Amino acid sequence: MKVGRFPQNFIEDLKEHADIVRVVQDTVPLKKTGNSYKGLCPFHAEKTPSFHVNQEKGFFHCFGCGIGGDVVKFVELNEKLNFSDSVLLLAERLGLQVPDLNETKEERVATAQREALLKAHELAATFFQEQLNTPNGKRATQYLAKRGIFADTISRLGIGFAPAKRDSLTKHLLNEGQSLDLLLTSGLVIQRDNKTVLDRFRNRLMIPICRDTGSVIAFGGRALENGQQPKYLNSPETPLYTKSRTLYGLHLSKSDIKRLGYSVMVEGYFDFAQAIQAGVNTVVATCGTAVTRQQARLLRRFASKVIISFDPDTAGQAATTRSGELLLAEQLQVNVTRLPPGEDPDTYIQQHGKQKYIEQLKESKPYLEHVLDRASLKHDLSNDGQRRMFLNEMLNIAASIPDAATRDKFGDRVAHKARIMEDVIRAEIRNAAVSKRTRLDDSTAKSIGKTITTAEKGLIWSIMQDTKTAQDVLVNTETADFVGLATETILKTALTLAEWPANNVSETLLERLNSTEIALTKQIGLLDESPASARDCAVELRRLRYERERAELQNQIDQKQQLGTPDALEEIEALWQQKKDLLQRIEALGV
């Protein structure tokens, strides 16, 4: 049977995968009321919401204009498309492959092959489950008992056992009428160079991997003997199975995830088994890798929030950071649990019980707070260089946040964590976060950790408010007076305008500065009065310059003294004379 140009089972699968609330919310803001969602109808003008969406039953209805239907009908009406184009658009959004009744011969062969592969995997799963309950499977059942996995969980997950004999599964599947070529394509069977055919999985605990509809598409095999390598052996990628697009256990948890709106994400098979056994029915597993973009999009069909519960070791935390960043970019709300060192969800639940683990989930931190805390511990934020590294690292995280308001808030939290007190620099960090810049500009970076002196403020205030007086002072300054100051660029630029017409100076100055420098200059210029006269400020800046030069000379003298060579002693004498001249200049300033 077909609907239009599509098979009936595909249309049903499409509707099953599509969350009608998510699809409608792309256009219509909805508010949950009881068992349904309500909003203003997009198909007629109204002031009181009469448009209802039933998530569980997958339909919408407007009590105002009478329009209603399923998710495909909504796309038809909303996008003004015909049925076929609506199906294609919806399938594209969900990442589903569309079967076409007009497909080529090659495409029909590929479709038939996928159906045959599903049958082979179904037969293999049944075979492995049966083997678990034979005397040969005793070692596997003992291992499961040791790992604390109960009989009903074993049955629910479809766990089985692959015998040690080299061709047990191969013979079974061939006897069931499966072709050797198909079995080789499935990855269940391998062929050596000498044409010998044998089972891929031998003497292993077998864990079926299913697509979210429940069909078995691959296996993970856990070693049972000491020294057996690899510890975990997974099916290769096939026409059925792409690891980056599959979330282990989603077929068991998707209903609860959709109902509750959140998912708990763990790493491994046994993390998943212990969690679902403990009643955490919204759990999925990434099978030991950081989440991929395809997995995030798959999960987003069912959940709006993800709690990451990975191992607390270095590898697990690195995967947490990568996964959190990607999930966040896919507009999911992300929290992170922090289990004690040496624990993972599997061992934690076994040792502390399900209630303690549930408490850990409830106490999970928002991902961005988690990232800030970890990064601040990694960097010495009393060191300016480390602070700059911290800020740039956090701006990279901020760039992955899809919402501008959230980026702004995160930017402010980053500035606070980095102990940035200057309002202008804090504002620039926020602006960088909002505009998705992954690095601070040079002038902002150089300003971090530098305090703006009263003399700098006084001279900048005069430039903006008493320009002629400031110019009279500036002509007697030198660029060296401003080197190393927080406002170095501003004052050096002002010096180039010392002989300009006074009425053009402030405007021209601002045109030549960047956004951070402009904001700082304006902020100082708005002070009620100058903190000091322009002349006194220039003298103080000259004194500070001499003090910096004197400190540098003393540093050179100390280094030469450590050498103690005749040449070094001669150089020390010359340096002492330079230092004496500087001291005389400082004294001559009269400050």
Contact 207, 128 (CB under 8 A): no
CA angle 256, 257, 260 (to 5 degrees): 80
Please count the other Cβ atoms lying within 10 Å of the Cβ belonging to residue 425.
Answer: 24
pLDDT of residue 82: 87
Q: Is the pLDDT of residue 449 over 60?
A: no
Confidence of residue 323 (pLDDT cuts 50, 70, 90): very high
Helices (H), strands (E): how many in the chain? 27, 18
Q: Residues 341-358, buried b or exposed e (16+ Cβ, 10 A)?
A: eebbbbbbbbeeebeebb
Tell me what the pLDDT averaged over the chain comes to: 88
Please count the other Cβ atoms lying within 10 Å of the Cβ belonging to residue 573.
Answer: 11
pLDDT of residue 392: 85
3-state secondary structure of 431: helix
Comparing 382 with 2, which gets the higher pLDDT?
382
pLDDT of residue 485: 83
The answer on 476 and 539 residing in a single domain is yes
Rounded Cα–Cα distance for residues 120 and 123 (Å): 5
Rounded Cα–Cα distance for residues 309 and 326 (Å): 15
**590: in domain:** no
Domain containing 75 — which CATH number? 3.90.580.10
The answer on 364 and 253 residing in a single domain is yes
Q: Rounded mean pLDDT of 55-75? A: 92
Q: Give the residue numbers spanning the domain of 188.
A: 105-241
Confidence of residue 1 (pLDDT cuts 50, 70, 90): very low
3-state secondary structure of 42: coil
Q: Is the pLDDT of residue 2 over 60?
A: no
Closest by CA to 66, choosing from 41, 33, 83, 35, is 41
Q: How far is CA 586 from the centre of its chain?
A: 55
The answer on 218 and 298 residing in a single domain is no
Q: Look up residue 136 and give its amino acid.
A: N
197 phi/psi in degrees, rounded to 5? -105, 135
pLDDT exceeding 70 applies to what percent of the chain? Answer: 95
**340: in domain:** yes
The answer on 226 and 152 residing in a single domain is yes
**62: in domain:** yes
**How far lies 454's CA from each of 220, 285, 544, 585, in Å?**
68, 58, 12, 22
pLDDT of residue 187: 96
363, burial (CB in 10 Å: exposed 0-12, middle 13-18, buried 19+): exposed
**270: in domain:** yes
Domain containing 164 — which CATH number? 3.90.980.10
pLDDT exceeding 90 applies to what percent of the chain? Answer: 48
Q: Is the pLDDT of residue 3 over 60?
A: no
Of 396, 414, 447, the one marking the end of a domain is 447
The answer on 464 and 387 residing in a single domain is no
Of 94, 115, 144, the one marking the end of a domain is 94
Q: Rounded mean pLDDT of 49-74? A: 92
The answer on 127 and 190 residing in a single domain is yes
Q: Rounded mean pLDDT of 511-526? A: 86
Q: Is the pLDDT of residue 98 over 50?
A: yes
Rounded Cα–Cα distance for residues 277 and 370 (Å): 28
Rounded Cα–Cα distance for residues 148 and 297 (Å): 32
DSSP code for 248 = B
The answer on 180 and 235 residing in a single domain is yes
Q: Is this structure's pTM higher than 0.95? A: no
pLDDT of residue 16: 83
For the chain, report the end-to-end CA distance as a whole number of angstroms: 97
Q: Rounded mean pLDDT of 39-66? A: 91
pLDDT of residue 212: 82
The answer on 202 and 294 residing in a single domain is no
Q: Rounded mean pLDDT of 303-330? A: 92
Q: Rounded mean pLDDT of 451-461? A: 87
Q: Rounded mean pLDDT of 488-492? A: 90
Rounded Cα–Cα distance for residues 509 and 463 (Å): 9
Confidence of residue 414 (pLDDT cuts 50, 70, 90): confident
**591: in domain:** no
The answer on 72 and 10 residing in a single domain is yes
Total domains in the chain come to 5
**100: in domain:** no
Confidence of residue 103 (pLDDT cuts 50, 70, 90): low
**How far lies 38's CA from each of 22, 32, 50, 93, in Å?**
13, 6, 7, 23
Rounded Cα–Cα distance for residues 448 and 432 (Å): 15
Q: Which two tokens stand for residue 367?
A: 């991902």
Q: Which two tokens stand for residue 209?
A: 């991997």
Comparing 340 with 288, which gets the higher pLDDT?
340
Comparing 132 with 382, which gets the higher pLDDT?
132
Domain containing 364 — which CATH number? 3.40.1360.10
The answer on 567 and 477 residing in a single domain is yes
**99: in domain:** no
Q: Rounded mean pLDDT of 48-60? A: 91
Residues 519-534: pLDDT tens digits?
Answer: 888 988 988 888 889 9
The answer on 249 and 228 residing in a single domain is no
The answer on 527 and 417 residing in a single domain is no
Residues 211-245: pLDDT tens digits?
Answer: 887 889 999 999 999 889 999 999 999 999 999 99
- Worst-scoring range by mean pLDDT, 2-16, 142-156, 388-402? 2-16
Q: Is the pLDDT of residue 288 over 70?
A: no
Of 210, 241, 272, the one marking the end of a domain is 241
